[in-house]
Structure 1
Amino acid sequence: MAASKNSAAAKGTSTLTILALLLAAFASLFYYLEQHLESFYVFEPEHLHDLSQRAIAAHGNDTRAVVSYIVSELDEKVGGKYLNFDEEWVFNNAGGAMGAMYIIHASITEYLIIFGTSIGTEGHTGRHTADDYFHILQGTQLAYTPGSYEPEVYPQGSVHHLHRGDVKQYKMDSSCFALEYARGWIPPMLGFGYADTFTSTLDFPTLWATTRITGREMIGNLLQGKI
């Protein structure tokens, strides 16, 4: 009996040791990747801001043409290597707000989408593990932080930078579309994007479409060496 107990204790200790080593290895890997995130990015906020402004200057409020202009130049810049050219629009419910999105790029460390709605929406930005740059292509976005008595106003051609870990209330009074770029750790953000499906909309076909497109793009980019 004593031998049996000693054997079980030894196995338990061995299991804990293995788990501790795995945790240490994961923590070391995460720390290394965190310190080298910049090396994984293929898009630059400054270029995307300039590109958005040039697209607006060329096409004004013809948002379809603005989007086409943006995607065409990105194709030239990155060689079409990491981009999705199919405008697979899907609804997006997150933080109480509702709109639609076209995923141009999705990987472990970046996503680039067109997000918006033609009738307006309002909600919670979420508190994310990535910096988010919201380049306004059409309309105006308002944002609010607790303690402020005036809204932040982001008109066409401007960019709203939501810093990693920050949170705000946001609103688009009417038609508003943006080129949204996030850089950091993207997978932890997916929970925010999925939560409303289970707590409110129960729109599982949209959930499946979002998962299918996002997963396909992330895996495809991983296979090309893009983390």
Structure 2
Amino acid sequence: MRTLTFLGVIVGLFSSLFYFLDSHLEKFYILEPTQLHELSKNAIAEHGNDTAAVVKYIWIFNNAGGAMGAMYIIHASITEYLIIFGTAVGTEGHTGRHTADDYFHIIRGTQLAYAPGTYTPEVYPQGSVHHLRRGDVKQYKMNDACFALEYARGWIPPMLFFGYVDTFTSTLDFPTLWRTTWVTAREMVGNLARMKL
């Protein structure tokens, strides 16, 4: 009986803390989707389809290879991440059902998306933003080369498991998993040290 009481108290305290923090998420963000959209559009206006120049206009690009594309982690904290993500050859997959809103600012190419119960694709061309709301799920596809400035805001750590599963179930690309984990952890811990959730 004492064990159940103790577990009940722990769950109650954790739940209260989570709901309190979740209701104050906006205070932890340092980036704004509208600013990132403007940045993406300005880079496109300046450099058009020269993806390398567009990305360099935003930040310096560096591929971190993955089975479905490549990414460069620009910022990662407990409540936000900002990356460059894309592929030069096209890809297709499952968005995952996440604990954060995801803003996919297309800087080159076109992304297609499909939500269950709809009968036509959502089309996101260069300069547009695909907003995947927290808790939603879709199929997505990039037929050809497509790159985006991707910004997620919400609870980021639970999203990491989605990115890890393919390593253990199909790719077995442990060096990439290690590099991604190292860079993400370094960024998150560094931001926590600066009191930035």
- The normalised TM-score by structure 2 is 0.96
Residues 68-107 of structure 1: CA deviation (Å, up to 9, x unaligned): 2223xxxxxxxxxxxxx7x5521234xxxx0010000111
- How much has 1:148 moved relative to structure 2? 2.2
Q: Which residue of 2 aligns with 1:182?
A: 152
Aligned residue number for residue 147 of structure 1: 117
**C-alpha distance in structure 2 between counterparts of 1:143 and 1:15, whole Å:** 47
Equivalences for residues 97-136 of structure 1 within 5 A: 98-136=68-106
TM-score when scaled to structure 1?
0.83
Identity of aligned residues (%): 72
SS at match of 2:12: helix
Structure 1: gaps of 5 or more residues: 1-12, 72-84
What value does the CA root-mean-square deviation take over the aligned residues? 1.3
**For 1:96-125, what per-residue CA distance to the aligned partner results, in whole angstroms no more than 9, with x for missing partners?**
xx0010000111100100000000000111
- Rounded to whole Å, the distance in 2 between the matches of 1:64 and 1:22 is 50
Residue aligning to 2:40: 52
Render the CA deviation track for 1:126-182: whole Å, top value 9, x for unaligned: 111110000000001011122322211100000000111111111001110000000
What is aligned with 1:30?
Answer: 18
Q: Which runs of 5+ in 2 are unaligned?
A: none
Task: Verify: 1:220 aligned to 2:194, yes or no.
Answer: no
Distance in 2 (CA, whole Å) between partners of 1:69 and 1:144 is 31
For residues 147 and 15 of structure 1, the distance between their equivalents in structure 2, rounded to whole angstroms, comes to: 45
Corresponding residue number in structure 1 for 2:53: 65
Paired residues, what number?
Answer: 197
> One-letter code of the match for 1:91?
G
Query: In 2, are the aligned partners of 1:92 and 1:193 still within 8 Å (CA)?
Result: no
Secondary structure of residue in 2 paired with 1:148? coil
In 2: Cα distance, 1:21 partner to 1:14 partner = 10
| Residue equivalent to 1:10 | none
SS of 2:75's equivalent?
A: strand
Q: Counterpart amino acid of 2:194?
A: Q
Distance (whole Å) between structure 2 residues aligned to residue 54 and residue 220 of structure 1: 30
Larger radius of gyration: 1
| Runs of 4+, deviation exceeding 6 Å | none
